[in-house]
Structure 1
C-alpha cells in the first residue's frame, strides 16, 4: 500500500519504519527543514555543544520494548536529570526530597520524622482536592507550595494554580529520601549523537522517502491508501471550528566561557523572575568536553497562530472544542491521527513511541483482516 505520513517526528518515523518493514511504501513529509520535530538536535556552530533546539528532551521509560527499540538505531549513554531550582535567593534540588526539606526548614530530619513534619504542614481540611493549589496545599503545605510550585506554575501556565485541575499535579510531589533523580524509570539515557541522528536511523529504509519543507495538500491524500497525521488535530481541518489552546516557549540564547550554572536545568520558582528556567545544554552530554557553553532562558506564554505549539492546555473550553474536532475526525476515511499534536495530549517520548508501534501493528492487522483502521489508535478524550 501507499502510505502518507504527515510529520517526520517520532510518530511518523516509527510508524513509517514499521510499515516499511512490512512491505508498504511510505512517503513522509514535513513542513520544517529538518527531521525530528521538536526532538531535533544539532551542533552549535559557536561552541560545538549538542543543542536540543526546541528545549530539553531526556529519554526515560519503564517500557523495555521501547528501550530496546531506540537502542536498535542509536547508542544511548547513561544520563540522569538532576534538576535544581533557585527560590528566595537559595538553590535547592528537585523534586522536593529529604535534602530539600531539611535545607528549606533548617532541620536534620530523618525520613519518618520528615513525613510527619510535612503532614503537620499540610492542609488536612482539604479532603478532595479539585485544583492544583488545593492538591499542593494538601500534600506539602503552604510554605513549600509557595516556594517551589506557585510562581513556577503561574509562569508556565499563565494563570492562577486555583484555575488549574488537580490532575496536573498527579503524584505526591515530595520524596522522603535523598534521591534527586528527577525521573524514577528503570531506563534513562541520551542518544550519544542526538535525537536527530536517532530518528535518521529509524527513517533509513529503502521503502521510506522523506520530503522536507513540504506542506500537506488534500491532493497528496488522494494519492495515498492511508494517511497518518501527526500535525495539529485542528490544523487538519484548517481550524474551521477555532483553535485548540496551547502554551508555547520563547528561548533567549546566550553563551558563556566556562560552566554557567553547573547543571543542565535550573528552575526559577520566584514569580518576579520572568523566565521559568535556564538550560545549559553541554550538561545534557556529560561524556563530551566543551570549554564554551550554550544556554537558554525559557519563557512560557499563550501560543499564537504562528507559534510552535508545545503544551496542550486541555481546560474546560479546550476539551469542549476537542470533542467537536474528534467528531469531525471520526467522520474521515483512511486517516489516523497520532502523536502529541494529532491527539492533543502531552506525551513523553517513550509513550509516543509505544503508541506509534501499537498504531502500526493495529494498521497491519486491520489490513490483513479487512477491518477499518481506527481514526485514533488512542482516543484524545
Structure 2
C-alpha cells in the first residue's frame, strides 16, 4: 500500500483480514494522509492539520465501518459567510434570503421571488459556473456569495469554469442551515488518525513511515495499490496534472474567535477563502484557547501538496494519456483521490477502497488479471 491514508489503510486491512501480508509505506512521518489530526500541545485542541474533514454519508455500510474503529459523535456543519461586512448562513437558505433582501418571506414567497424576479431566465442551457448561478439565483446573490469566493478558490473567473462544478445549487427555501443533507453525519471523538491507527492495527500489516516509494520497489511485492499522484508514479514523464493547493496561516486566540467552525469570506478583496476554528469541530470538548487557520488557495507547484484536481480540458487530455500508460503497466492498481485524479469525499474513498479490495480478491480467486483501476478516472 503506497500511502497510509484512508485508501491504503482500508484496502490493507481488508487484505490482511483475508490472509495477506501487507506493507504500508508513506513519505510523511505520520499516518492518516490529509485526514491527519493531532492534539495541539499549547491549547489542547484537536487540530485537522491539513484542513477540516467532516464525515457525512448515506452509505450505511461505510458508516458502520468507521464506527467499528472509532466512536463518531454528532456534528452538523453550520457554515457562515461574511459578505460586505455582514454575516450570513450557508448554504443560502430562507434566513439568508430574507436577511440579504431585508424581507420576511414565507418559503413559497421566497421561491417565487428568486425564480421569477431574481433568476436570469434568459439563460436556457447554462454552460459555465457563472451562467448556472445567474440562471438559478440571479445577479445579486451570485455576486454576494459565489463570485468572489469562486475566483479565490479556483484562480479563474466563474465564466471560465464548467457549470458542473455547481452541481447542486446550494439554495434552500426553508431555515435548514445544515450544510450537508446526508443521513449520517459526525466527527470521530478522538480524531481521524486514531481511527486509521486502529484500522492498521493488525499483525499482518507493517507500516513504514518516512519512506518514499520508488517504482523499483514494486518487484518486492505481489501487487501494489498506489494512492499517490497518478502522474507522480510515472515520474511526471508526460507532464504534470493540474491541482489547486492550500496554504494555511495558523494562529491562536484566547477565547472564541468566530463562534463557528467555518467562516467563509465571499469578498474577492479578502485574500483568504475562509477561517476554520478547530475546537468547534469537537463541540463536546471545552477549551479556553483556540486554534484557527486562514486558508488560501493557489495553483499547485512541484513540491506542493495537491488538494483539488482541476480537470479542465487540458488536464483531461493529459489524464487520458496517463490512464493508457497505467493500463499497460501491470502489477499496480491506482486508488483514491490522487491515484484516480478525482475529488472524493471520505465516505466515497472508503466505499471505493472496500470495493477495490473485494475486486482484487475476486480477481485472484477467479484467475483474472487485476486491473489498473477499479474506478476509472474518466
TM-score range, shorter chain: over 0.9
User: Which of 38, 57, 66 is the matching residue for 1:61?
Assistant: 57
How far residue 374 of structure 1 moved from its aligned partner, in angstroms, is: 1.4
Deviations 1:175-199 (A, max 9, x none): 0000000000000000000000000
Q: Partner of 2:308 in structure 1?
A: 311
| Residues 15, 357 of structure 1: 8 Å contact kept | yes
Tell me the secondary structure at the aligned position of residue 253 of structure 2: strand
What is the alpha-carbon distance in structure 2 between the residues aligned to residue 291 and residue 253 of structure 1? 17
What is the alpha-carbon distance in structure 1 between the residues aligned to residue 294 and residue 169 of structure 2? 28
Deviations 1:92-120 (A, max 9, x none): 00000000000000010000100000012
What is the alpha-carbon distance in structure 2 between the residues aligned to residue 221 and residue 364 of structure 1? 19
What is the alpha-carbon distance in structure 2 between the residues aligned to residue 255 and residue 141 of structure 1? 38
Gaps of 5+ in 1: none
Tell me the secondary structure at the aligned position of residue 373 of structure 1: coil
Find out whether 1:81 has 2:113 as its counterpart.
no
Tell me the secondary structure at the aligned position of residue 6 of structure 1: coil
User: Which of 283, 287, 292 is the matching residue for 1:286?
Assistant: 283
Tell me the secondary structure at the aligned position of residue 307 of structure 1: coil
What is the alpha-carbon distance in structure 1 between the residues aligned to residue 316 and residue 214 of structure 2? 27
What is the alpha-carbon distance in structure 1 between the residues aligned to residue 190 and residue 205 of structure 2? 22
Deviating 4+ runs (over 3 angstroms): none
Q: Partner of 1:231 in structure 2?
A: 228
Tell me the secondary structure at the aligned position of residue 138 of structure 2: helix
What pairs up with 1:1-381 in 2 under 5 angstroms? 5-119=1-115, 120-381=117-378
What is the alpha-carbon distance in structure 1 between the residues aligned to residue 170 and residue 30 of structure 2? 37
What is the alpha-carbon distance in structure 2 between the residues aligned to residue 240 and residue 230 of structure 1? 18
TM-score between both structures, scaled by the size of structure 2? 0.99
What is the alpha-carbon distance in structure 2 between the residues aligned to residue 286 and residue 80 of structure 1? 10
What is the alpha-carbon distance in structure 2 between the residues aligned to residue 95 and residue 218 of structure 1? 44
| Residues 215, 233 of structure 2: 8 Å contact kept | no
Deviations 1:192-251 (A, max 9, x none): 000000000100111100000001122320011100000000000000011000000000
| Residues 139, 173 of structure 1: 8 Å contact kept | no
TM-score between both structures, scaled by the size of structure 1? 0.98
Tell me the secondary structure at the aligned position of residue 188 of structure 1: strand
